[in-house]
Every structure is written in structure tokens, then in C-alpha cells.
Structure 1
Amino acid sequence: MKYVVVLGDGMADEPIAELGNKTPLEYANTPVLDALSKNSEIGLVKTIPDGMNPGSDTANLSVLGYDPEIYYTGRSPLEALSIGVAMKDTDIAIRCNIVTVSEDDKPYEEKTIIDHSSSEINTEDAAVLLEAVRKELENDIYKFYLGTSYRHLLIWDKGTVADLTAPHDILGRVIGKYLPDEEDLREMMRKSYDVLVNHPINVERKAKGLNPANSVWFWGAGTRPSLSSFEEKNHKKGAMISAVDLLKGIAVGAGMKNINVEGADGTLHTNYEGKAEAAVKVLVEDGYDFVYVHVEAPDEMGHQGSVERKVKAIENLDEKVIRIIKEGLEKSGEDFRMMVLPDHPTPICVRTHTSDPVPYLLYDSTNVLEKEWDYNEADAKKSGNYIAQGHKAMDYLFSNIK
């Protein structure tokens, strides 16, 4: 038996008037999921423990079977594992986004945050901008490391775990009251604007109608993580396919194989097919038992507040990922179980994450269930199936369907 999780990041949502009071998941044209749902169990799973922040970090730890209340030490340390930063026990890792703030004559504290991803800036441009920041701001205490797209890393030697605000939580707001209390961090953010605002890359971006990547933003601080081995824990040899350093870092910490797919960049136009084909290969040809296929696009479209693009991301997931994996495994003759779910909702109406339970679909190629439901938030709730602790979803995947 082979096992697959297809994780549509932030895919769950609320009913939207312009979609006829349907959610994007209900409204999207998803013939593969529609067919699968008729022979699947569906239900709700609570991926965010009470009192914890509804981040992709805590949620994906849950889905992978790691109780965040035990294993979570912050988001950025997980990303540090992916980048290859060897953290000391005294280091604090901090996410360093390259964001867009308003360009006006107001003091930095009075500017508004416009875009947490700087129009989904590519890694090549981000590398140049981060190097400009590094030349001005890096010292023996603060070290910058390149990540992917807008997502980068700051390591603070002998730092403290500061209470920092995620930029996607405050889009459209004046930034002053959300800046770090730590003056060194605040000052680096202020200075980064001066370094980047008139950088040639940003001049070019604005000429193209793209948002300038004109400030760094610090958030997600934490200490060095320690995850137990996925294979020892589950007796399954596992692989991760994701464009996002957070997921790659979790895989490094859990001793899973990271598979890098060319053209996979976490955007709406990511290489969906390449991810799906890599998933089939690692299971069928390479002999792995489990693969976790993470697709960032629905979450990014939720943060952007784009109904049309979120629907498209879900349709891409259906046609270009789930279909290819299903057909590839069927062609191979392998029996398999596939779980499809988001990590958390990213509702268009709030443009950030919420803690609500998310819908899951659990398909077993050896079972015929003949159900009437579809895979969406409403039918998942009506099913009455509920996994109250998200970190037990992985055990559920590896056990028999009820």
C-alpha cells in the first residue's frame, strides 16, 4: 500500500456572495475530486490546537503527525533547516519577508503594508535585494540568509524570542503598532526601506506595474527545533514535495527525503504537473511508502484576496496534481490511500489564516464506499466525521477507513 497527502495550503474558505454563496472549493470545477468523493470518507479535522496561532507551521506539523504543542518552537527555525543553517542553541531564527509598504513622505512607522509577497517576487530578484540589505545591515550579531521568493531568514545570535506580527495578518494597515519592540529589529526594518526604495530592481518593477520589494519584515521567531524521525515514528519511508522552505525544513527535521521540482515556486503558476509526476516516481520507482505534496497557491491567492485566482488554484490542484497522481498510481497497479485537505482556511474575506477545522477527503483504492457527498466544507461538516486532534490524522491515514 502506498500513501499520499495532497495539501492545498489555505484551500478552505467561507461562502462568497459573488460565487453564489459557495466557497471556492464548492464553486471550482473539480471533476477528479467530485469522482473521488463518491468513494471516499470526508469529514473535518482540527489542525490548530486551541490557543495556538493558525499558521502553516503549526498546521502542517499537525497534518504530518507532530503535535505542535510538543514539537513547535517557531516557524523560522524550520525554514533554517531547509536553507541549511546550522543553528546554535543560543540562536534565534526570524523570518525575513521582503514586502511592499507604501511609498510616500510619511515616516516609516506611518506607512501602510500593501503586499506581503511583493507581487510574488522571484528568487533571483530577491537575492539581489537581500544582498543590498546584507551589505548595509549585517554584522556579527545579525546574519541574513537567502530563502525562496519573498521568504528569507535572519539569525540573531544570543537573541530573544520576540513577539512579532506576520505581515499577511495586517495587509492594508498602518505598520507602526505592529513593528518589533526590539529597537535593533525596528531600526533594521527602517533602514531596509532606505536601501531598497530606489534600488534599480524596484524602479524596474514599478515600471512593469509590479509592487516594489521595498522593505524587510521580521516575524516568526523561534529556537532550534527537534523533530523525531518520520520513518521511525510511522514505519514508513517518506518524501516531501514543496516549493516552500517551511515544508522542506519540516522534512529535514523529520528525516524525510526532499524532492526539488524545477519550476515549483509556490505561485499560481507553479509546476503542478512536475510535482505530481515526482510523487508518482518516488512511490513507484524509488520504493518510498509515503509522499506529502504541498501546493502553496490557494493560500497565496487567499492572502491576495483574489476570488478568481483562488478558484483557479483549486482547479489546477484537481486537474494537474490529484488527477496525475491517481492515474499514475492506478497505472502502476499499486494499491494506495490518498488524503486531500488544507492545512488551515485562508478566507478571502479576511485575507489571512483562521483556526476553523478543515475538510479532509480520504480515498482508499481498495474500498468502494458509494457515498453521495462532495468534497467541500459544508458536506464535510454534514458527514459527522471529525478528527479532533490534527496530529492524529496521519495515524488515521495509515489505518483502515471506518
Structure 2
Amino acid sequence: MGIILFDDNSWQTLKPLSFTRPVANIRIGILTIQEKWELHLSSPTSSYLTQEYLSKKYVPVVEEENLLVNGSILPSASLVSTIKTLELGQILTKGNIVIAAKCTKSQASNFKFDQTHEFQPKTFDGEISKITHPWDIFALNSQEIQADFQLLTKGRTSAAICPSNKVIGNNIFVEEGATITCATLNSTTGPIYVGKSTEIMEGSLIRGPFALCDGSSVKMGAKIYGGTTIGPHSKVGGEISESVILGYSNKAHDGYLGNSVIGEWCNLGANTNISNLKNNFALVKVWSYSQKRFIQTGLQFCGIIMGDYSKSGINSMFSTGTSIGVCTNFFGSGFPRNIIPSFAWGGTQGFITYKKCNFLPAISATLARRKRELTDEDKEILDSIFEMTKSDRSF
């Protein structure tokens, strides 16, 4: 049976992070949402039902029988148990949210989450966790680190931790190939997960819940607070709190990052600092790409949301609740506006459009540093986003 993770309206409201990926490809906790469902459903592979311009890279694979799962919903034991009871032609909902459907090849090929009248309804009475806005990612990250930690470490034994470290608490799991030297690891506030081929350098102070994913490193003297995930193949330093770096990105130097989500292939220049609290302690508003206005998050603490391939220069500063699009390059002194559109190049003195002849070589050079290449599918996705966001760039 094929497992297909579909996008609902959350794909619109999770921009700029969802511009470049299906929702289920977003990392929250230790794993991506796709990886969570694959483990819970004991399925080694799954595919996506997403936007047309993303489908060449994220190809849907439709079988004779298929289980469609909402890619914005985080799995739990009770939810998975209910989904496994679905019969062919049934759809599981909670209120107006479509959670999952079991269907034929024809139904899967023509599936639309807002047109499900041909399915027999079944209601889920339990609680669900769903990401709808980018700030939900860091808000729910602590609970998801703990859930993923249990999922990944059950019945397994951690690799040994070097005695040069100061270990507080016993809720730490280290994968083989990780190097940790002269660091302080405090898991009394939540689990600490250290992935394969990672490094935590001397003098680092880490408090759980915390996840360091495969191939990533924490540089000397870093201070990392709970609720933080460092995605694969990333480098971090300075001070970080309650933030998620999706992967392949660097915040390698001093500076503060709090209550934020950073996409893939991003770089925060040395001493980049993010404000995550307004001076008047008011609740934070953030730009909504779907509503074309600033909307209330309901949160007092909210830093930045940064789309893929974006960068900040040294000594950059960002105001509370700043949304930064895909493939932006901000540099210079002072605070920019709280919304920096995709493909913007410049600073507080003004922006120009970051042209294809300039951003493609820059992205290719970034990927080459990790022995990756920008594929034709990636280039087509960037072309589509460039056209989609053209009206946002009224410089």
C-alpha cells in the first residue's frame, strides 16, 4: 500500500518555508514530518501530493491501494492506531480538517483535500497536533523532540560519552560516530539527542530538549537552550534558544537566535542578532503570505522566519517577528522592515531584485561546499517562486 503525504491549506500559510518543499518535508523535533509518519506506519518509503511546480522533484507514487495522510499533522500513537483501522473508501476527519483517507489508485490520483464527498466519513475524537503557521514549528518543537527521542531510542543503547564532559541528568542519547569534548550537557529539562558524525566542541553549554542531527557541529563556547533543533549538516555557534534550523545552514559565529525557524542552505553572518521580544512586551505580528498582511501570532516571543537559500551579512540585526523570503541577501547596518520579499538583495538603504544570473551561481557554490548540486528540478522550482513573488518586490 502506498503512503502519500498531501498538502492542505497549511501549505499556503507556512510560506516562506513551504515555497520550496511540501509541508511534510519540514523538520520539527528531530525528524521531518515525513520521517515521523514512515516510522509510525512502519513504511520505509512514502511520497508527496503537493503543488504542481514542486511535483517534478517531489513525485507522487500511486499504488493500487493508498493511504493519504495530511502532511501538516504530527503523528501520535492514538492517531496512528485509528488510521490503521481505516477501510478502503473511508476518510478520517476532525472538524473541518482532513487527517487521512484510504483509497484506490483512481481516488488517489484525483484527490483534493477540500472535495471529499465520495468518501465515507469517520471522526477522530482525540487531540491532534498540526503545524499551520511557521511559528508553530518552534512553539511545538520541545514536545516533538521528546516524542522523536522516544521513537528513535526505544530499545537502543547510547554510545559512550567521553568523561571530559560534564553530564547532568541521564536523558542523553549519542549515536555512533559523534564526538563530544569538554562540553556541559544538561538533560534534566528535556532529552538531548546527538546524531551520527556530529561534533560538539569544547566549552559548549547545552540544555535539553535539544537535537543535533547527522553531520552537524556545535562550535566552541556555544550556548544552546532547550527547544532547539539543529538540522543535518549545519554549523552553529553563539547563543541559540527555542529555534529550528531545518538543515544545511550555518550560524557559525557569535550572535543571538531565538524563537526562530531557519530554512535550508542559509547563512547568518558573524554577529547576526535577532530580537524575539518587543520592548513593550506586546504579542508579535508576522507577515502572512496568504493574507498579504501582518497577522497576530498570539506569541510574546517570536524571532525570524527565513526561507531557503537566504543570507545575512556580518553584524546584521532583525526586528521581532521578521519574515525573510527565499533567496534573499541582507547586509549593512540598521534594522530592515519586518518583511523582506524573496529574491531581494540589499539593506536598509534599499533593495534591488536578486537576478537569476547572480543567485544561481551563488547557490551552486553554496551547495558545492557540501558536495551537492543544484538540479534542473531545483532551478525550475526557483523560477516558479521568482514568478510567484514578483508582485512582492515593489522596491
The TM-score with structure 2 as length reference comes to 0.30
More relative contact order, 1 or 2 (CA 8 Å, 6+ apart): 1
The TM-score with structure 1 as length reference comes to 0.30
